[in-house]
Amino acid sequence: MKGRIENVRGSAVRAGAAILVFATAAAALAADVVQPPPGGWKPKDMNRPRPPVRDPGPPSAKEFAPPPAGAVVLFDGKDLSAWERKPSAKDADQSPAPKWKVVDGYTEIVPKSGGISTKETFGDCLIHLEWATPAEVKGNGQGRGNSGVYLPGQHEVQVLDSFGNDTYPDGQAASIYARHPPTANVCRKPGEWQSYDITVEQPRAGKDGQPGSPRRVTVVHNGVLVQDRVDLGPGGPASGVLFLQDHGNPVRFRNIWIRKLSAPPPP
């Protein structure tokens, strides 16, 4: 009888020890989850947790498909006639013709020559483009393969070499810059072609005392949904040009087209 009681006691002690080990492990895991500070993360906060790194796999044929019928083709690999240059105010040459290289079906940023914007403006739309950061890796953080897709209206979807290159999460590839990190880092290697499919839902003013709707942006990076109808707030312009940033790195772009989802609202 005594032996049985000791066995029961032994089992209870072992069970208690197991619970203690489990609780300690759970507490350690909880301590690893970084909680946002009161008031939320500040823009460009390096303490913010990094989105998980995921392999998007090789591109499907659909990912790099030609423009669909009805799309506005902005760059078909041949010329930049749909674009105009936006030189800096300090640039002695204010000519509007883009200076980016066009070669082998892609355009490559000529650093310091200025970004380029479309001549046409867009409201609600689906934007497709393909991009590649330099195969020869130079710099780090925001200085490696930086460009950007400035959406019609406002906000930049960041272009950056985020393959093994740490930066603040709301400034990595596929972030809404200084606003919203992507849910995952699905960047391909430097020099490899990548794709963005970006849906822009422009803000709407409310009618008859009803609330309006905010700007919403969806980003599919390399076939992976990483920004899902992110709410970027009410107000702001409901149409504008598409602008590609010159951040001083020779990033490449190809196969750029836009499908209009509705007519832009009158100015």
Residues that bind Mg ion (CB under 5 A): 146, 148, 245, 247
Smallest gap from residue 148 Cβ to Mg ion (A)? 3
**C-alpha dist (Å) from residue 107 to 87, 100, 101, 134:** 17, 6, 5, 13
Smallest gap from residue 200 Cβ to Mg ion (A)? 17
Strand 72-75 and strand 252-260: the pairing is antiparallel
Helix (H) or strand (E) segment spanning residue 14: helix 2-32
Please identify, using beta-carbon distances, which residue of 129 and 238 lies nearer to Mg ion: 129
Please identify, using beta-carbon distances, which residue of 54 and 247 lies nearer to Mg ion: 247
Smallest gap from residue 160 Cβ to Mg ion (A)? 7
- Counting Cβ atoms within 10 Å, is residue 30 exposed (0-12), middle (13-18) or buried (19+)? exposed
Smallest gap from residue 175 Cβ to Mg ion (A)? 9
Please identify, using beta-carbon distances, which residue of 171 and 240 lies nearer to Mg ion: 171
Helix (H) or strand (E) segment spanning residue 74: strand 72-75
> For Mg ion, which residue has the nearest CB?
148
3-class SS at 20? helix
Please identify, using beta-carbon distances, which residue of 146 and 183 lies nearer to Mg ion: 146
Please identify, using beta-carbon distances, which residue of 80 and 149 lies nearer to Mg ion: 149
Its sign, for the CA torsion 54, 58, 62, 66, is positive
Smallest gap from residue 131 Cβ to Mg ion (A)? 11
Q: How far apart are CA 11 and CA 16, in angstroms?
A: 8
Please identify, using beta-carbon distances, which residue of 117 and 146 lies nearer to Mg ion: 146
Smallest gap from residue 173 Cβ to Mg ion (A)? 10
- Angle at the Cα of 142 from the Cα atoms of 118 and 78, rounded to 5 degrees: 30
